Amino acid sequence: MKLLVTGGAGFIGANFIFHMLDAHPDDEIVCLDALTYAGNLETLEPAADNPNFTFVKADVADREAVYGIFEKEKPDVVVNFAAESHVDRSIEDPGVFLRTNIIGTQVLMDACNKFGISRFHQVGTDEVYGDLPLDRPDLFFTEETPITASSPYSASKASADLLAMAYHRTYGLPVTISRCSNNYGPYQFPEKLIPLMIANALADKELPVYGTGENVRDWLYVEDHCRAIDMILQNGRVGEVYNIGGHNEKNNLQVVKIILEKLGKPESLIRFVTDRKGHDLRYAIDPAKIHAELGWLPETKFEDGIRKTIDWYLDNKPWWENIISGEYRDYYEKMYANR
Ligand code: NAD
Ligand code: DAU
């Protein structure tokens, strides 16, 4: 089987490629990535010498380039991770989110229709369900929760999901969609909460917590997400949505304090800053469907996952120090200087 993995030079896509090369050594993987600020070829170094792995630099919204790749590679399965993924950036500049996340998905699905594939898997997010109130811990997102969106990012991801379902119904494209909660683990770009807090704490810099720090996220170790997508590709039902989440809710302040404690740094580094616009209060996934149908359950407890993640950032300083010295420095200044 040949898989085309888009966005594979980013955080989850790269972890997914490593998982698949390991779990299915006979499969071939072609990674298509535009190498935006969030994509990094260094991340894919562990796969570089694998004869079943190839990389091609292309933009998912570039129809000519995408069709050319399909014509040459003839993939059986497409897994679409390629996206602009950071909510804060989408608030500053929504345009590129609509282009990559919506038009890019459309172009990929048109290519699938034109050249033929056995599966198109759209990697979605729980953010398409909006948010839940903090005082109703009994409520969870199920696959039937109505789609809504708080940020340009989540609106673009919701649009892509709707488009994928429309392509399934209208053209019979064999689509599956997964909607996952917040991932953490190796190779996550340091603009996201956990790696940002690790990097700042190690540098004894302030840790910017938005609002009161009470917003809740449902944290899942990235390998558990990759295993879930693998299971959906093997046995998931076409035309279905699968929620993926770990029943591991923590508010942001709790997460930040755990990181400080593990690194032996003082809580005085925490600084409460102006809240994110439209900030979602709580995400919480009900993963009953993927558990019942495919037998998936998360395997990594937060206690172990956060330890492994912190150790990875400690052991791989060149990877992220390189990133935070480039374009990211300007971004950080703009985002946090007068907050
Ligand atoms: P990321 O930002 O780390 O990586 C995105 C990758 O996509 C990068 O390699 C980037 O170069 C590439 N890319 C961006 N625009 C492109 C384009 N036009 N053409 C080709 N490649 C392009 O993102 P991530 O955190 O790994 O997220 C991957 C996917 O998973 C996204 O679709 C995201 O919405 C979804 N998701 C993420 C999380 C999370 O917690 N990070 C949770 C649920 C779902
Ligand atoms: O739920 C899945 C989503 O999780 C994915 O679809 C997104 O791609 C991914 O980026 C993530 O979105 P969040 O907005 O939840 O993640 P982020 O790491 O940006 O923020 C997590 C929480 O931490 C959120 O409540 C905002 C807060 N935060 C974030 C940053 C960067 C802070 O308090 N301070 C910060 O500096």
CATH code: domain of residue 294: 3.40.50.720
Question: Distance of CA 8 to CAs 178, 207, 269, Å?
Answer: 17, 29, 34
Q: What stretches in the chain show pLDDT beneath 50?
A: none
Number of domains in the chain: 1
Does any domain span residue 211?
A: no
Does any domain span residue 74?
A: yes
DSSP 8-state code for residue 249: E
Ligand nearest the Cα atom of residue 126 = 2
Residue 102 near ligand 1, beta carbon < 6 Å:
no
CB distance 1 to 28 below 8 Å:
yes
Which pLDDT belongs to residue 143? 98
Place of tokens 């997102």: 141
Which pLDDT belongs to residue 247? 92
Residue 208 near ligand 2, beta carbon < 6 Å:
yes
Rg (CA), the chain: 19
- At 268-303, the pLDDT tens digits run 999 999 999 999 999 999 999 999 999 999 999 999
- At 138-176, the pLDDT tens digits run 999 999 999 999 999 999 999 999 999 999 999 999 999
Instruction: Choose the residue to mutate in 36, 57, 320 for probing ligand 1, maximizing ligand atoms within 8 Å of C-beta.
Output: 36
Which pLDDT belongs to residue 168? 98
Does any domain span residue 27?
A: yes
Which pLDDT belongs to residue 299? 97
CB distance 124 to 162 below 8 Å:
no
- At 239-252, the pLDDT tens digits run 999 999 989 999 99
Supply the pTM of this predicted model.
0.98
Does any domain span residue 336?
A: no
Which pLDDT belongs to residue 137? 96
Nearest-CA residue for atom 3 of ligand 2: 182
Does any domain span residue 337?
A: no
**Mean pLDDT for all residues in the chain:** 97
Residue 217 near ligand 1, beta carbon < 6 Å:
no
